[in-house]
Amino acid sequence: MHKIQKAVIPAAGLGTRFLPATKATPKEMLPVVDKPAIQYVVEEAAAAGLNDVLMITGRNKRALEDHFDRNYELESALTRKGDDERLVRVQESSELATMHYVRQGDPKGLGHAVLCAEPHVGDEPFAVLLGDDLIDPRDPLLARMTEIQEREGGSVVALMEVAPEQIHLYGCAAVEVTPEADVVRVTGLVEKPEAGDAPSNLAVIGRYVLDPAVFGVLRDTEPGRGGEIQLTDALQQLAADEKLGGPVHGVVFRGRRYDTGDRGDYLRAIVRLACEREDLGPDFRTWLRDFAATEL
Ligand code: UTP
């Protein structure tokens, strides 16, 4: 079995839900407290031992590349001022992982974005992390997924229980239980089903560990929902026919996750993370309590 080393982060979507903020800035660069959302995701990949990160970018890619590169001008200004604390924080993002970039060109869907990773990934299993989903570092998910993939082969998706009225927002998995409480066998996947048609309450969230057979399947996947090439459609093929690329398992995540692709959840993520920060939290919580008591 391969030890998984490569992470792919698709970041070429249009980010229409955040317009006009995302007119000239990728949504992945929007700050969550004082770090861009994408940095949390690269930190998560590095923490799971994935030190080779390929970002799929589109228009406005410069800010993403610059963020993970050195900024000598800024660094020497901070050095001159003796501001070591900020210097360390500025350097952190350029030391997390070996970064690679490829352009998607036309944003033809998440499946198409993943297909753009094929020349870099080659013939080995790899992880995919979506920048919209922030997984709290205290609740590691990716390491468990790579462990299951290395043991079982095939592909592994991350699943989360959601309320029936939420399932139409996600890909949904049909599953069989396994002896491990947090692991299921995925027998089918449907993209954004109505509550009545959903095979379970298990939603696919933005972490995947994929067998490279997914590339061949994606090449033959016709545009689906919204005219986009859907990753879920390719995973459905893999789940339906084990001969293509081994089994598909799901790891059921019960930890803290923030969906920063949605404006409401983005605001909630910032408030929660700010409350938990040692430096900002105490003052911010006091203000928030007063605000809730007097203004809500
Ligand atoms: P979303 O469905 O959230 O689309 O993509 P989006 O365009 O980024 O955002 P909205 O819905 O218009 O606000 C899920 C993930 O897939 C990437 C996005 O960057 C995001 O991380 N993606 C999507 C691509 O890389 N390429 C695509 O063609 C589509």
Tokens of 226: 């919204």
Kindly report, residue by residue over 52-109, the tens digit of the pLDDT: 999 999 877 889 999 999 999 999 999 999 999 999 999 999 999 999 999 998 989 9
Residue 169 resides in a domain: yes
Whichever domain contains 71, its CATH number is: 3.90.550.10
Q: Per-residue pLDDT for 224 more than 90?
A: no
Residue 2 vs residue 184, higher pLDDT: 184
Pairing of strands 133-135, 155-161: unpaired
Closest CA to 156 of 137, 128, 177, 135: 128
Examine residue 136 and state whether it is found in any structural domain, yes or no: yes
Whether residue 266 lies inside any domain: the answer is no
Which tens digits make up the pLDDT trace of 136-182? Answer: 988 989 999 999 999 999 999 999 999 999 999 999 999 999 999 99
Give domain status of residue 295, yes or no: no
Res. 33: pLDDT tops 60: yes
Whether residue 292 is contained in a domain is answered as: no
Domain limits for position 133: 6-261
Residue 272, pLDDT score: 93
Q: What is the pLDDT of residue 240?
A: 95
Nearest atom (ligand 1) to Cα of 9: 21
**Is residue 296 in a domain?**
no
Comparison of pLDDT for 120 and 136, the residue scoring more:
120
Residue 289 lies in a domain: no
Q: Please tell me the distance between residue 280's alpha carbon and the centre of ligand 1 in angstroms.
A: 31
User: Cα(131) to centroid of ligand 1, in Å?
Assistant: 9
In this structure, are residues 164 and 201 in contact, taking their beta carbons and an 8 Å threshold?
A: yes
Which residue's C-alpha comes closest to atom 5 of ligand 1? 13
* Count of domains for the chain: 1
Length of the chain: 296
Render pLDDT for 14-24 as a digit per residue (tens, 0 to 9): 889 999 999 99
CA distance 238 to 120: 21
Q: Which atom of ligand 1 is nearest to the CA of 229?
A: 28
- Ligand 1 pocket by Cβ (under 6 Å): 10-17, 56, 104, 107-110, 112-113, 130-132, 261
**H and E: helices and strands count for the chain:** 12, 13
Closest ligand 1 atom to 109 CA:
28
| Mean pLDDT for all residues in the chain | 94
pLDDT for the residue numbered 286: 97
> Is residue 79 assigned to a domain?
yes
At residue 60, the pLDDT reads: 75
Ligand 1 atom at minimal distance to the Cα of residue 108 = 28
Indicate whether 2 pLDDT > 70: no
Q: Which atom of ligand 1 is nearest to the CA of 27?
A: 8
Q: What is the mean pLDDT of residues 217-239?
A: 92
Of 9, 23, 114, 132, best ligand 1 pocket probe by most atoms within 8 Å of the beta carbon: 132
- Separation in Å, CA 31 to CA 48, 111, 216: 23, 26, 36
Of 223 and 146, the structure prediction assigns the larger pLDDT to 146
pLDDT of residue 1: 54
Q: Which residue has the higher pLDDT, 222 or 54?
A: 54
